[in-house]
Structure 1
Amino acid sequence: MTITPINVPDLINQIKTQATAILGQNIETAQGFSQEQLAAMAQQAETIAGGIASGEIRPSLQQFFLDQLKQSAQNFVRVLVGLSLVTAEQLWNGVVGTLWGALSGATGLHFTPPAWGQ
């Protein structure tokens, strides 16, 4: 096995490159999802407000429509939290994978990176 000494500036750049790629990809996903969901919730709020103001949505049904809007907002936030957790795990795997790979290469031993949450 070939032993490769750790070059600190190169290792830093590898970690930065990997983290930037992960964040960039997940930010694009979140932005697309967010725009669509925010537009839908804003439209839903506008429709509810118009229906209440015009009397089309009777007081007995107002809570139903408000609960639906609340559920939409909760689901939106839950998806973003989930995406954030996935992103954090991907960053972890990228960072420790790069570091443990450098350690393995510099020592000639095989080090298994720790898993997320260990």
Structure 2
Amino acid sequence: MTTEDMEALAAQILSALQGALSDGWDQIDAFHKSQSEKLTRQAALLVQIRISGELKDSPEMFDFMIEQLQDKVENFAIAVANLTVLTLQNAWNASVEVIWGAINAALEGASLPALPIPEGR
């Protein structure tokens, strides 16, 4: 493999990674913005309810509403973590596709069998 071939392969790997990571980030960012706005509105509403004294005779109801918000925040964090893992998996797959594609093209050019593409981790 020549220096030019290696530079071209490195550029292809970088391009594949950038594409996968950019797509993933766009999904995370859109989800984050949407959910953050909803959580903010819910938190503001709870503050307003508390300050106004609307539930002063029902602290259990206020506690219940706070627990619901806590659950939503936890689910939000889990969803962001899952989207992040999916993004990293897609970056792995994109890199492997480029690298193993180049290896197998060279092997097949030498009349050798192709290597199996590794499965995601």
Query: TM-score, normalising length from structure 2?
Result: 0.87
Give, as a single letter, the amino acid of the residue that structure 2 aligns with 1:18: A
- Which consecutive unaligned segments of at least 5 residues does structure 2 have? none
CA distance in 1, matches of 2:10, 2:27: 26
Query: TM-score, normalising length from structure 1?
Result: 0.89
CA distance in 1, matches of 2:47, 2:104: 61
Moved over 3 A (4+): none
8 A Cα contact 2:21 2:87, kept in partner: yes
- Which consecutive unaligned segments of at least 5 residues does structure 1 have? none
C-alpha deviations, 1:66-90, integer Å up to 9, x for none? Answer: 1111011011111111111111111
Which structure is richer in relative contact order (CA contacts within 8 A, separation 6 or more)? 1
How many residues align? The count is 113
Report what 2:120 is aligned to. Answer: 116
CA distance in 2, matches of 1:55, 1:9: 67
Question: 2:61 matched to 1:61?
Answer: yes
Q: Which moved more, 1:54-63 or 1:92-101?
A: 54-63
Aligned residues: CA RMSD = 1.2
Other structure's SS at 1:114 match: coil
Counting aligned pairs with the same residue, the percent is: 24
CA distance in 2, matches of 1:60, 1:101: 61
CA distance in 2, matches of 1:60, 1:83: 34
1:38 counterpart (27, 36, 40) = 36
